[in-house]
Structure 1
Amino acid sequence: MNTFDITRGDSPVILGQPHGGTWLPDSLTARLNDNGRKLADTDWHITRLYDGLLDGATVVRSNVHRYAIDANRDPAGVSLYPGQNTTGLCPVTDFDGNPIWAEGQEPSEDEILTRRDTFHAPYHSALADEIERVKARHGVAILYDCHSIRSSIPFLFDGTLPVFSIGTNDGQTCAARIQCLTADPCLNATGMDTVINGRFKGGWTTRHYGRPETGIHAIQMELAQRAYLAAEAAPWAYDPKTAAPTRTILAKILKNLDHLARSGALT
């Protein structure tokens, strides 16, 4: 089993997909409780949602489920949102705060380090290599990190999440023009709401790689799953009709970013 896959393209845009994988080693699956085995916190069908939206986009996707390791968390285990409820590098609860491991089967500190070396580090090594390859070709690289989540999770946030949550760590991880070109199609979408740097300001991936002064820009898109699933519950079925208008907006964003990077305006 490959723990990650790469689709290599010639665009300046790279799609990171750290949470769409559902694979776990049998040894870990056996240690999950019934709740954990539901894998409810997956970014369901994220690869399908973005498939074909931008010709030439490079895609780096993890196949490993986030319950083994969260590839969008600080490898040192530091919280991205101090003082707020969240899940860690190797989660012990789901997004509702409920245990996911059978009693006594939570990962030890040594096991967390092993999982980090086995799953987290290889994914980010591959992602870093693609960023450098793309930057060498174009003089600039835009990492667009693809995420999705249930619309309502009281343990993590109040109320209902907007359809589009855009994160740039308060403008630090990309050029202002990139944030605008990402946000504008969302803000102009009928019947879809948007927030910029709200509850989700960008995870470790966005914050780690986004260094605009070096020509590497990063932005996170967190989508509410009501924008493309038939229902935000098992069996988490993809709904092409629901997804169609969302895909139209996402395609516009990615094409705008591609054009901006190719134009030389970021170099």
Structure 2
Amino acid sequence: MTPVSVRKGSSPIILGFPHAGTHVPPDTAADLNEAGRALADTDWHIDRLYAGLLPDITTVRANFHRYVIDANRDPAGVSLYPGQNTTTLVPLTDFDGQNIWTTPPTESAISPRLSAFHTPYHAALETEIARIRDLHGVAILFDCHSIRSRIPFLFDGTLPDFNIGTDRGKTCAPEIEQAVNDICKTASGYTCVLNGRFKGGWTTRHYGRPADNVHAIQLELAQSTYLEAEHAPWTYDPTKADALRHHLTRILTTLASLVPTAGATQ
């Protein structure tokens, strides 16, 4: 199993999938308990949801599961949301706060996992960002995520359908944030929030450098928007998904059209 899969395109948009993978090495799987082996916190079918939305687009997909090591966490282990419940670089619990290990990973286990999984994923992402910026003078990283809409351990109530994160406008040009927010806000039948509970993970915050013509934005989708139900077997609902894909296509197409403007403003 290669830790990362890359599809190279010439579009100015790069899709990142840090949580689509389900591979767990056998020695790690042996240390997971029943809750951990369920892999419930996967961004189920998120790569399928985005497939074919924009011609010739670059994708970077982590093939390993976030329980091995989370590709969207700071490699130094710094919390994304200090003072709030969240999961760590190598999670000890699932999103419901339940322990996922029979034998928890030690600190010494983290370094090999960084080298084998986290580092290759981000090396691939850095390579593609540099390549696309060389092609267009600007690159837009669109970080693709999904999560169950109700997780009391992480947030109160029901999550909006579209959760846009730009670290309060720091990771992309204003017109990029506004374009995504406008499309999501006007999508009939869906709810939306900008920089709510999810303000952009480490990937978005790390790569989003508008002054260097690299823009990053995260979209966290409620899984109720495209799954039959938010529990196992996590079945993809083509009817729901097709309706959602219409809006995702609008977002990506609009962002691609903004590239000359985004580059010119920096």
TM-score, length-normalised on structure 2?
Answer: 0.98
| Corresponding residue to 2:233 among 232, 235, 255 | 235
Instruction: Give me the whole-angstrom Cα distance separating, in 2, the residues matched to 1:265 and 1:9.
Output: 20
| Corresponding residue to 1:109 among 107, 111, 115 | 107
1:79-109 Cα offsets, whole Å, 9 max, x none, are: 010000000000010000000001xx11111
Equivalence for 1:193: 191
More deviation, 205-214/184-193: 184-193
Equivalence for 1:31: 31
* Amino acid corresponding to residue 35 of structure 1 in structure 2: A
- Does the alignment pair 1:76 with 2:72? no
Map 1:83-122 → 2, pairs under 5 A: 83-102=83-102, 105-122=103-120
* Amino acid corresponding to residue 130 of structure 1 in structure 2: E
Contact 2:213/2:262 (CA < 8 Å) preserved in 1? no
Instruction: Give me the whole-angstrom Cα distance separating, in 2, the residues matched to 1:91 and 1:265.
Output: 36
Moved over 4 A (4+): none
* Amino acid corresponding to residue 128 of structure 1 in structure 2: E
Equivalence for 1:41: 41
Equivalence for 2:208: 210
Contact 2:138/2:262 (CA < 8 Å) preserved in 1? no
Equivalence for 1:166: 164
Structure 1 residues 175 and 106: alpha-carbon distance in aligned structure 2, compared to 1, 3 A threshold? same
Instruction: Give me the whole-angstrom Cα distance separating, in 2, the residues matched to 1:264 and 1:162.
Output: 29
Equivalence for 2:20: 20
Equivalence for 2:222: 224
| Superposed displacement of residue 264, structure 1 | 4.6
Look up the SS of the partner of 1:115 in the other structure: helix
* Amino acid corresponding to residue 178 of structure 1 in structure 2: I
**What runs of 5+ residues in structure 1 fail to find an aligned partner?**
none
Contact 2:173/2:262 (CA < 8 Å) preserved in 1? no
| Superposed displacement of residue 266, structure 1 | 2.2
Count residues with an aligned counterpart: 264
* Amino acid corresponding to residue 91 of structure 1 in structure 2: P
Equivalence for 1:127: 125
Contact 2:176/2:262 (CA < 8 Å) preserved in 1? no
Look up the SS of the partner of 1:15 in the other structure: strand
**Identity value in percent:** 60
* Amino acid corresponding to residue 247 of structure 1 in structure 2: R
TM-score, length-normalised on structure 1?
Answer: 0.98
| TM-align CA RMSD | 0.7
Equivalence for 1:251: 249
Look up the SS of the partner of 1:220 in the other structure: strand
